[in-house]
Amino acid sequence: MPDRSLPVPARFNLARYCLGAARLRPESVALKVFLEPEGPASEVWTYGEIEDALLRIAAGLLEAGLVRGDRVLLRIGNTSDFPLIFFGAIAAGLVPIPTSEQLTALECDRILEDSGARAVIHDGVTPLPHDLGSALGLGPAEIAALKRHAPADYADTAADDPAFLVYTSGTSGGPKGVLHAQRAAWGRRPMYQGWYGISEDDVLLHAGAFNWTYTLGVGLMDPWANGATSVVYRGMRDPHIWPVLLEASGATLFAAVPSLYRRILKYNDITPKSFPRLRHGLTAGEALRADLHRAWEEATGRPLLEALGMSEISTYISSPPSEPARHGSPGKPQAGRRIAILPAEGGETPLAPGESGLLCVHRSDPGLMLQYWRRSEDTKAAFRGDWFMTGDCATLDADGYLWYDGRADDMMNAFGYRVAPEEVEKALAPHPGIAEVAVAESEVATGISVITAYVVPADEHAPDPDDLRAWAAERLADYKRPKRFVTIASLPRTPSGKIMRRALKDQPERDPSTVS
C-alpha cells in the first residue's frame, strides 16, 4: 500500500507513476471496455499492453514534430484511444487537453485559441474546431500509425512540470484552463484509503466518459496506480443497464454522480442480493442528499461514500470506508490535507468548529493546480495568502465532518459539471428575439434543479423555446444548455446594476406558455 506521508519525488512523470503495475505485474488486467451491459468485454487490456501502446504513441507524437510542453487538444469519443493518447502524451512530456465530445465546434474554437495547442488529435467523428490554423491535425489513420511506432521511454519530467490542461466554465463568459502538474497523480494518494479503500484486487466501474476529469482520475489514474482493473461502459445509458453491468463486470467499486444512483433506484428493483460483488459505491460531482444516501444503503445493504472536490484539486474531502458516514456530509478532510474554513470577509485565521465560511486548501497540497492558464490575475485572486479559495462555503463540526453550505458565487451544477451562468448568457444574448437574459438553476422537483434561462424579449413577442434550444445547441455542449426558458418583463438588479440571479425564480412570468 502506498505510503501517503512520503513527499513527491523531484523527478516525476504522471504516466509512469500510474502504470507502475506494468513493471510489476504486466499480465494483470488494467482495462475492460464493455459495449453491452452483459456478456464479455469488447476490449481487455493488460498493464503490459497499455504501457507498450502509450509509449509507442509517445514516440510517434515526438516524431511528428511536437516538443516537450506543447499542448495537444483531444477530440476523441469514449473509446480506449482516449486514455492511450492522454497518457501517451504525458509520457512524452506533452500536455494533453481532454475535452468532452459534447462540445460544439464554436466551443472547440475558443479552447484551441486560448490553449495555443500545437496539435488536434481526433477520431473523425467528434466535432472539431472550424479552423485548425497552424495546429497539426491527427485523425484515425495517424492514430493507428502512432500505435505502430517503435516505443520510446518516459520523459524525464520534474514534479512541477505541466502534465495536462482541463477547461472549465469561466465566470468571464468563456472557458478557463486549469493547468495541472505531473505531481497531480501523487496528490491523489490520500484518496486511496480515504475514499476508495482500494487494492490491486479491485474492479472499479466508472459511469462517466473518459474525457471527464472525474473519470480520468477516479476511473483510471487511481485504479491503475494501485494495480486494480478499470471498467468503462460505452453503450446506451438507460438506467436499467447499470445493475446488469455491475454484475457482468464483477465490479467491486462503482463511481457515479448522485443523480445516477437515484435513477438506478427509481427504475430497478434493487435488493441486497443485487450485484453481489459490489463492496460500496463512490459518488462525487453533485451534493448527495441525505434521503438518497439512506435509500441506497437500505436498498443495497452497502455503503455509499461521498467526496467533495473540484477541477483545481480533485477530491480532498471524503467519507472513508473505515469510518461511519454522516448523511448530509461528504466526510472529513483526507489524511495529510491542510484544510481550513476562513472568514468570508477576509483574513487567514481559521474559524472555529460550527462557524460557516470559505472552504480553503493550503497551497502546499501536491494535488493543487499550477495555475489558471494564461490568467495570472485569476490565479492570484484565487489565493488568500497561502490558502486556495475553493468558492464553496462550508462548516466543520467538532468531529471534523464537513457540512456544505453552497457556493459563494453563482456557479451552477449540471450532472456533475460546474457551469458558469455567464458562459450560457454570453451564448444566448445575441439571439435576435432576446433583449436581455440571465441564467440560474431552478428547482423542478424536490432536490432536482435544472439550468434555466430567464429571457426579456426584444419585442412584444416571446421567443419560441424550440428556436432558443436550437440556437443553444449550435453554441453550447448539451450539459450547459438551459432545460427551461422563462419569459419575464425585466431582470432583477442591484442598485449598481448587477444581476441578482438568486432573485430570478421570484420574477413573475410575462407569458407562462413560454415555460418549457
pLDDT at 172: 64
- Quote the CA–CA distance of 459 and 295 in Å, as a whole number: 48
Give the 3-state DSSP-derived string for 64-115, with helices as H, strands as E and coil as C.
CCCCCCCEEEEECCCCCHHHHHHHHHHHCCCEEEECCCCCCHHHHHHHHHHH
Residue range 303-359, pLDDT digits in tens: 999 999 999 999 999 999 999 899 999 999 999 999 999 998 899 999 999 999 999
Mean pLDDT over all residues of the chain? 93
pLDDT at 502 over 90: no
Residue range 186-211, pLDDT digits in tens: 999 999 999 999 999 999 999 998 88
Is the overall model pTM greater than 0.75, yes or no? Answer: yes
284 neighbors 275 (Cβ within 8 angstroms): no
Nearest to 116 by CA among 102, 136, 100, 130: 136
When comparing pLDDT for 420 and 138, which is higher? 138
Residue range 97-124, pLDDT digits in tens: 999 999 999 999 999 999 999 999 999 9
Instruction: Kindly state the average pLDDT of the residues 437-443.
Output: 90
pLDDT at 171: 65
Q: How does residue 449 score in pLDDT terms, banded at 50, 70 and 90?
A: confident
What angle separates helix 465-473 from helix 421-428, to the nearest 10 degrees?
110
- Quote the CA–CA distance of 7 and 74 in Å, as a whole number: 31
Strand bridging mode 136-138 / 119-122: parallel
Q: How does residue 95 score in pLDDT terms, banded at 50, 70 and 90?
A: very high
Q: How does residue 1 score in pLDDT terms, banded at 50, 70 and 90?
A: very low
DSSP assignment of 449-492 equals: EEEEEEEEESSSSPPPHHHHHHHHHTTS-GGGS-SEEEEBSS--
Question: What SS3 class is residue 41?
Answer: coil
DSSP assignment of 309-357 equals: EETTTEEEEE--TTS---TT--BEEPTT--EEEE-TTS-SSPPPTT--E
484 neighbors 444 (Cβ within 8 angstroms): yes
Residue range 278-308, pLDDT digits in tens: 999 999 988 898 999 999 999 999 999 999 9
- Quote the CA–CA distance of 393 and 353 in Å, as a whole number: 14
- Quote the CA–CA distance of 265 and 493 in Å, as a whole number: 41
pLDDT at 513: 42
Instruction: Kindly state the average pLDDT of the residues 413-425.
Output: 83
Q: How does residue 213 score in pLDDT terms, banded at 50, 70 and 90?
A: confident
CA distances from 259 to 160, 219, 240, 361, 483 (A): 36, 18, 14, 27, 16
All cell numbers assigned to 67 = 516538443
Residue range 216-274, pLDDT digits in tens: 999 999 999 999 999 999 998 899 999 999 999 999 999 999 989 999 999 999 999 99
pLDDT at 395 over 50: yes
460 neighbors 494 (Cβ within 8 angstroms): no
pLDDT at 162: 98
pLDDT at 46 over 90: yes
- Quote the CA–CA distance of 285 and 308 in Å, as a whole number: 7
pLDDT at 516: 40
pLDDT at 515 over 90: no
pLDDT at 512 over 90: no
Mean pLDDT check: name the lowest of 112-126, 449-463, 482-496.
482-496
pLDDT at 420 over 90: no
When comparing pLDDT for 324 and 363, which is higher? 363
59 neighbors 31 (Cβ within 8 angstroms): no
Give the chain's end-to-end CA distance (angstroms, integer).
52
pLDDT at 496: 61
220 neighbors 210 (Cβ within 8 angstroms): yes
Instruction: Kindly state the average pLDDT of the residues 432-453.
Output: 88
